[in-house]
C-alpha cells in the first residue's frame, strides 16, 4: 500500500514538473537579460534584481507572440484546407468561430 502511494505521488510530481519549469525558465531568461545589460554598462552584478513587473511584461510579450504565431498558423492551415473540396464546411466550422471569438471577445 505504501509503495503504491509513493508511486502515485511521484507520478503526480513528474507530470506537474513542466508547470514548475515554465516560470523558472522565464525568470532565468529575464535574469540573463539583466546580466547582459549589466555587463554592457559595467555595473557590478550584486545589484541585479528581477521584479515582478519585468516578469509579467516578459510573460505578456511571450503570450502575445505565441498568439500571433498561432493565429498565423491557423490561418495558413485554413487557407490550405480552403483550396480543397470541403471549403464551405471548414470555413463554417473552423474559421468563422475563430474570427467571431477574436472580434467579440471572451465574456
- Cα gap 18→24, rounded to integer Å: 10
Query: Which residues of 30-98 form beta strands (DSSP E)?
Result: none
The per-residue pLDDT for 70 is 87
Q: What residue spans define the domains of the chain?
A: 1-50, 52-107
What averages of pLDDT result for each successive group of 10 residues across the chain (107 residues)?
63 76 89 94 91 91 90 80 67 68 64
The per-residue pLDDT for 80 is 75
- Cα gap 5→65, rounded to integer Å: 41
Query: Which residues of the chain form beta strands (DSSP E)?
Result: none
Amino acid at each position: 500500500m505504501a509503495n503504491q502511494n509513493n508511486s502515485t505521488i511521484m507520478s503526480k510530481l513528474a507530470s506537474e514538473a513542466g508547470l514548475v519549469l515554465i516560470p523558472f525558465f522565464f525568470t532565468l531568461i529575464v535574469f540573463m537579460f539583466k546580466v547582459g545589460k549589466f555587463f554592457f554598462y559595467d555595473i557590478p552584478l550584486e545589484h541585479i534584481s528581477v521584479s515582478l513587473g519585468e516578469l509579467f511584461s516578459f510573460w505578456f510579450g511571450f503570450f502575445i507572440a505565441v498568439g500571433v504565431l498561432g493565429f498565423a498558423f491557423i490561418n495558413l492551415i485554413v487557407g490550405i484546407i480552403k483550396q480543397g473540396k470541403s471549403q464551405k464546411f471548414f470555413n463554417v466550422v473552423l474559421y468563422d468561430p475563430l474570427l467571431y471569438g477574436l472580434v467579440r471577445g471572451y465574456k
